[in-house]
Amino acid sequence: MNKVLQIFKIPDLRRKILIVLLLLGVFRLLAAIPIPGVDAQRLEDFFSSNKLFGFLNIFSGGGLSNLSLVMLGVGPYITAVIVMQLLMIVFPKLKEAYYEEGAEGREKFNRISRYLTIPFAGLQGYGFLNLLVSRGAIAPLPLPAVIANVIVITAGTMLLVWIGEIISEYKLGNGISIIIFSGIVAGLPRTIASSIASYTPEMLPTYIGFVILSVAVIAAVTHINEGERKVPVSYAKRVRGNKLYGGSASYLPLKINQAGVIPIIFAISVLLFPQFISQMAALISSDLSLKLNEFVTNFFSNPVAYSMLYFLLVMLFTYFYTSITFDPDEISRTLQQNGGFLPGIRPGSQTTAVLKHIVHRITFFGAIFLGLVAILPNITQGLTGIQTFSIGGAALLIVVAVALDIMKQLQSQLSVREYEQI
């Protein structure tokens, strides 16, 4: 409590928090404004019967269920980032430029990702509107109305990306993650109300068990996110002029979950991609679109197949994102340049090999944990039959992880100001 009061006593921090809250308020306002020609009752029936799009609706902050101006959320931007990171693997020169140019390389990466977001948002917006028309969720629209709606949807996505980047500049956490976080939190009252409305005395043990499970998941997520493997590092003694440097011992902290919540978000984006592909196929052949759509619907109606694919995608993206964000070769070179080495290990290629081995081992456990948390709500919903329980796990994981990140950022800024006052 004292820390909270201390935060609001610092004018600069208070201003940053208020501006971020104002930007999130703008996001919530945009999520409540629907595009023209929406039948609210048809949409509600569609989302109540489609778990996959109900899932996406949570991450768009409820903006998808009423076809709001920001109905796609930041999904197209996440898709663009995935494509850029895949290109970094296919074309190693892109990865070298990203790391070697430092902040400038990352800025180029983000700029290209923003450019790619525009066509992705347009295609996804058109595909989703076409899907809703084919399912009878909205009435058929004339071509000018479709073009106008796609432009509005694309503009809404780009506006959210811009808001996310502004939030990131205030160093209170990752802006895109905070937008997703705010969307999930905004949907909690409705989820709780729905759970209460479906409550009966016979279901009391189920609800108590779900609350206990939620607390256990929160504790596990916190423990895993904070968990790290401390790799010992020694520094050789060096003489510069008349002074002796080095000769100390330290450690290299390697997090069990290096990727954070990104694998969950990536996996959801990939799971939704086939739906949009099936709708875009209508541009080529309506029969092909219907067949693809039927295949995708049947596949995702199978909870076992859906959960297995979801689990595997989360594990795959955990390894993928860790390989992008953690470069053992770069760490090894940095240690060697600063006179550091792992005890008993030669600097250079041997250090790189050891770091790779350690990261692969700890990432395996982190990936399994993320995958289990992601599919746990599907298992819970299958056992209890309560639909509102089926979208809690990944959302809970993101809420906890983003909240921890925000707390760390605030603590860091408080520490800097305390240091400056000494």
The residues spanned by each domain of the chain are 2-421
Q: What pLDDT, on the 0 to 100 scale, is given for residue 176?
A: 84
Q: Which CATH class name applies to 2-421?
A: mainly alpha
Segment 301-305 shows an average pLDDT of: 75
Q: CB of 322 within 8 A of CB of 359?
A: yes
369-407 pLDDT, tens per residue? 888 877 777 776 666 665 555 545 667 777 777 887 888
With 70 as the cut, is the pLDDT of residue 255 above it?
yes
pLDDT above 70 as % of the chain = 75
Q: What pLDDT, on the 0 to 100 scale, is given for residue 22?
A: 92
> Model confidence at 146, in pLDDT bands (50, 70, 90)?
confident
- The mean of the pLDDT values for the chain is 76
pTM for the whole thing? Answer: 0.76
Highest mean pLDDT among 49-53, 100-104, 149-153, 250-254: 149-153
Structure tokens at 141: 């629209």
Mean pLDDT lowest among 19-28, 66-75, 258-267, 387-396: 387-396
With 80 as the cut, is the pLDDT of residue 122 above it?
yes
Between residues 98 and 176, the one the model is more confident about: 176
Count Cβ neighbours within 10 Å for each residue of 279-289 and write b for 16 or more, e otherwise. Answer: bbbbeeeeeeb
Between residues 238 and 404, the one the model is more confident about: 404
